[in-house]
Amino acid sequence: MRDASTPDPRDTLDAVGELAALARIIPRLPESAATLLGPGDDAAVLAAADGRYVVTTDMMIHGPDFRTAWSTMHDLGWKAAATNLSDVAAMGARPTALVVALAAPGSTPVPELEAFADGMRDACAALAPGCGVVGGDLSVSSVLTIAVTAFGDLEGRAPVTRSGAGEGDVIAVSGPLGLAAEGLALLFERGVDATGAPDATAAARLRAEHPEPLSAQLAPRPPIADGTLAARAGATAMLDLSDGLALDARRVARASGVGLDLDGALLAAAGPHALTGGEDHSLMATFPAAVAEQGLPGGFVAIGRVVAAPVDAEGRAVPAVLVDGRAVDERGGWDPFAEWSGQAG
Amino acid sequence: MRDASTPDPRDTLDAVGELAALARIIPRLPESAATLLGPGDDAAVLAAADGRYVVTTDMMIHGPDFRTAWSTMHDLGWKAAATNLSDVAAMGARPTALVVALAAPGSTPVPELEAFADGMRDACAALAPGCGVVGGDLSVSSVLTIAVTAFGDLEGRAPVTRSGAGEGDVIAVSGPLGLAAEGLALLFERGVDATGAPDATAAARLRAEHPEPLSAQLAPRPPIADGTLAARAGATAMLDLSDGLALDARRVARASGVGLDLDGALLAAAGPHALTGGEDHSLMATFPAAVAEQGLPGGFVAIGRVVAAPVDAEGRAVPAVLVDGRAVDERGGWDPFAEWSGQAG
């Protein structure tokens, strides 16, 4: 009997070939309710009911973006879908469809590619029902690489950009702050073997012990539906927290020409990574005070207030992020160019 | 004085960082006339005037898909745009926009990334004016990887799929047949050094001597505008010839349940790679005979006739490609999984 953990050398991408592998993967992918013409031709055709569509693209690379000892292929399919859905939701749009280009080593077992497809399907079903995969590309590469482009429907509304935050608005977040970074810190600390290399057994044990931070890092559940709820409620600005609250809030501050004053006690309660931890894919939005008084939509919780941009010594307004009224300069987040060690694992 | 061919070690992706590199690349990219909200937020918003949009995605990987000794970064930007525009055109749509995800080694000189952007800009200007880049992602990877997703506007028309070819239709092609494969054969034969490794100097000399096949391979010029001309003229089926005429024509034969009978004398005149050479990105379409009698649109030239599917020994119809009435089984094309040697260069 074959050990379940030993891949069958006759069932790899190289051995099976691109077309046969695709024939096994495609049926597992979720269908999109927006499909007018599905996969199988030179291109797909999608409906854009209000004459517009939202588009975002993102790539995940083995090494700087994930370790295969820590992430299962199901995790990677899930995360590739979830992070792109989150960018669509951050515009106030409902995600409708994805296309995915996957490049994998020829030695990759086809069941691993099936698990990747299952991860995309499960993420769409859980986070954005009706959203599905309408096209893709399968290639061979020595570096596992995933490129997803996601689409959304604004349903007649204006997009919620980063530039609309106004003085007096309430700043709110839906989803965790710093939980994904807590998971990553645990993995780097304890998801490794004696030599410090990423280790699948250690990671699996860690995940059982600390399911919340580990899942936040490896298979995040962004509050996709809260994107449209925020837009309907009148959010003035919104974005996906991918690079950490400090860095992402500064983007809103600069685009809107304001200060974003965060509540230090709430950040402290959220834990040590709340201000600088990346990859939460929570939504940060600003709402008029009158909206907040009526009750914030979905899972949004107030974390601060939009104020006038602080003024520097020469009297110039300098949009910035503040905590309890004092400007912060913590960068946070994750810059693979600056920080990637060159290791994979 | 610095030799122009020596990259400045202070001007690489690693040294400059992602944000500064993007600030230099983004202004070089072409703008899209369909843009309602451009790059810089979580996602872009595009117009879909007739309530639909066409989507296709494709990835190019260093090694199986290109050699950097043969292709300049300008070539790669051009080809990544051109091949995706061609898939949009093959639906009978007008290309409107692209998103591009690029992953490059940290040692890549930023001027090389600028040349890549210039290649995309020049391809859009030459092949699909008004089409531009509305979003992207820049990552670091040890393997240069390019993923493009392209969008198009059907302008109220039905998409031209692969399944509409009918008996009696004229088969026509716009663009070369086998020219890109001729270029690739020349490169493998003479674009190499004494050890057989891809060589930039040899490739540049070869390109000066044989500009047509080399450009067809390295920077193809698909007849993008002929896609909409074919649709307006009433094309019954159409596709982009990326895997070679024999293989791609079989796709139309199978989708339409017919035989595609090609003219052997015309194929012979087109050269040895006409039937099996991949990567031409010419358009193949079928037109009702009455349309052909009035004159085929754009650059389309008749190469055969749609016939009833041949019948096998048991009397079953077997959709197939024929040459002068005889079924052919040449596969042709390029399957990186089966054929990639694992080399880059």
Q: Which residue of B has its CA nearest to A146?
A: B147
Q: How far is A209 from chain B (nearest CA, A)?
A: 32
Residues from chain A that touch B59, judged by Cβ atoms under 8 A, are: 101, 103, 137, 139, 145, 147
Residues from chain B that touch A235, judged by Cβ atoms under 8 A, are: none
d(CA A34, CA A105) in angstroms, rounded, equals 32
Q: Which of A141, A162, A240, A252 to mutate to test the interface with B (most CBs of B within 10 A)?
A: A141
Characterize A238-271 residue by residue with b for buried, 16 or more Cβ atoms within 10 angstroms of its Cβ, and e for exposed. Answer: bbbbbbbbbbbbbbbbbbbebbbbbebebbeebb
Q: Are residues B143 and B289 in the same domain?
A: no
Q: Which of B16, B35, B50, B55 to mutate to test the interface with A (most CBs of A within 10 A)?
A: B55
Q: Are residues B118 and B83 in the same domain?
A: yes
Cβ–Cβ below 8 Å for B140 and A18: no
Q: Are residues A322 and A229 in the same domain?
A: yes
Mean pLDDT of chain A, nearest integer: 94
Cβ–Cβ below 8 Å for B43 and A101: no
pLDDT in tens, B137-184: 999 999 999 999 999 999 999 999 999 999 999 999 999 999 999 999
What is the residue range of A248's domain?
170-177+219-335
Q: Which residue of A has its CA nearest to B99?
A: A57
Q: Is A97 on the interface with B (CB under 8 A)?
A: yes
CB nearest to B147's CB, from A48, A54, A101: A101
Q: Is A99 on the interface with B (CB under 8 A)?
A: yes
User: Quick check: A330 pLDDT over 70?
Assistant: no
CB atoms within 10 A of CB B277: 31
Q: Are residues B88 and B225 in the same domain?
A: no
Q: Is A55 on the interface with B (CB under 8 A)?
A: yes
User: Quick check: A335 pLDDT over 80?
Assistant: no
Q: What is the largest CA-CA distance in chain A?
A: 77
Q: Which residue of B has its CA nearest to A34?
A: B52
Using the 3D structure, point to which of B124, B153, B182 is the last residue of a domain. B153
Q: Are residues B255 and B176 in the same domain?
A: yes
Which pLDDT belongs to residue B330? 56
Q: Is B91 on the interface with A (CB under 8 A)?
A: yes
CB B309 within 8 A of CB B318: yes
CATH of the domain at B229: 3.90.650.10
Cβ–Cβ below 8 Å for A57 and B135: yes
d(CA A103, CA A113) in angstroms, rounded, equals 10
CB nearest to B55's CB, from A44, A61, A65: A44
Whether residue B159 is contained in a domain is answered as: no
- Tally of domains in chain A: 2
Q: Are residues B250 and B285 in the same domain?
A: yes
Whether residue B149 is contained in a domain is answered as: yes
Burial, B221: exposed, middle or buried (Cβ in 10 Å; 0-12, 13-18, 19+)?
Answer: middle
Q: Which residue reads 């691993």 in tokens?
A: A112
d(CA A225, CA A299) in angstroms, rounded, equals 10
CB A184 within 8 A of CB A217: yes
Q: How many CB contacts within 8 angstroms connect chain A with chain B?
A: 222
Q: Are residues B283 and B183 in the same domain?
A: yes
CB nearest to A142's CB, from B13, B37, B143: B143
Q: 265-324 in B: which are within 8 Å (CB) of A?
A: none
Q: Are residues B193 and B140 in the same domain?
A: no
Residues from chain B that touch A162, judged by Cβ atoms under 8 A, are: 41-42
CATH of the domain at A81: 3.30.1330.10
Would you give per-residue pLDDT tens digits along chain B (345 residues)?
Answer: 444 567 788 999 999 998 899 999 999 999 999 999 998 899 999 999 999 999 999 999 999 999 999 999 999 999 999 999 999 999 999 999 999 999 999 999 999 999 999 999 999 999 999 999 999 999 999 999 999 999 999 999 999 999 999 999 999 999 999 999 999 999 999 999 999 999 999 999 999 999 999 999 999 999 999 999 999 999 999 999 999 999 999 999 999 999 999 999 999 999 999 999 999 999 999 999 999 999 999 999 999 999 999 999 999 999 999 999 999 875 544 444 345 566 777
Q: Are residues A247 and A123 in the same domain?
A: no
Cβ–Cβ below 8 Å for B41 and A159: yes
Rg (CA), chain A: 21
Token pair, residue A233, equals 């409620």
**Number of residues that make up chain A:** 345
Mean pLDDT (whole number) for A296-318: 96
Q: Are residues B313 and B205 in the same domain?
A: yes
Whether residue B345 is contained in a domain is answered as: no
Q: How far is B209 from chain A (nearest CA, A)?
A: 32
Q: Which residue reads 């950009």 in tokens?
A: A161
Q: Is B146 on the interface with A (CB under 8 A)?
A: no
| Interface ipTM | 0.93
Cβ–Cβ below 8 Å for A18 and B134: no
Which residues, 6+ apart, have CB-to-CB distance to A317 below 8 Å? A257, A308, A309, A310, A311
Q: Are residues B18 and B125 in the same domain?
A: yes
Q: Which residue of B has its CA nearest to A149?
A: B149
Q: Which of B14, B42, B46 to mutate to test the interface with A (most CBs of A within 10 A)?
A: B42
Using the 3D structure, point to which of B97, B119, B153 is the last residue of a domain. B153
Whether residue B262 is contained in a domain is answered as: yes
Burial, B233: exposed, middle or buried (Cβ in 10 Å; 0-12, 13-18, 19+)?
Answer: buried
d(CA B104, CA B114) in angstroms, rounded, equals 13
User: Residue A244 — very low, low, confident or very high, per pLDDT cuts 50/70/90?
Assistant: very high
Token pair, residue B174, equals 């716009």
CB nearest to B55's CB, from A43, A90, A101: A43
Q: Is A76 on the interface with B (CB under 8 A)?
A: no
Q: Is A44 on the interface with B (CB under 8 A)?
A: yes
Whether residue A162 is contained in a domain is answered as: no
pLDDT in tens, A52-111: 999 999 999 999 999 999 999 999 999 999 999 999 999 999 999 999 999 999 999 999
Cβ–Cβ below 8 Å for A90 and B159: no
Q: Are residues B204 and B329 in the same domain?
A: yes
φ, ψ for residue A192, nearest 5 deg: -130, 160
CB nearest to B57's CB, from A91, A135, A142: A135
B301-308 vs B237-241, strand pairing mode? unpaired
CB nearest to A41's CB, from B44, B106, B161: B161
User: Residue A329 — very low, low, confident or very high, per pLDDT cuts 50/70/90?
Assistant: confident
Token pair, residue A296, equals 């914030």
pLDDT in tens, B297-327: 999 999 999 999 999 999 999 999 999 999 9
Please give the annotated binding residues of B for ATP, written as ranges.
136-137, 162, 242
Cβ–Cβ below 8 Å for B18 and A335: yes
Q: How far is A261 from chain B (nearest CA, A)?
A: 21
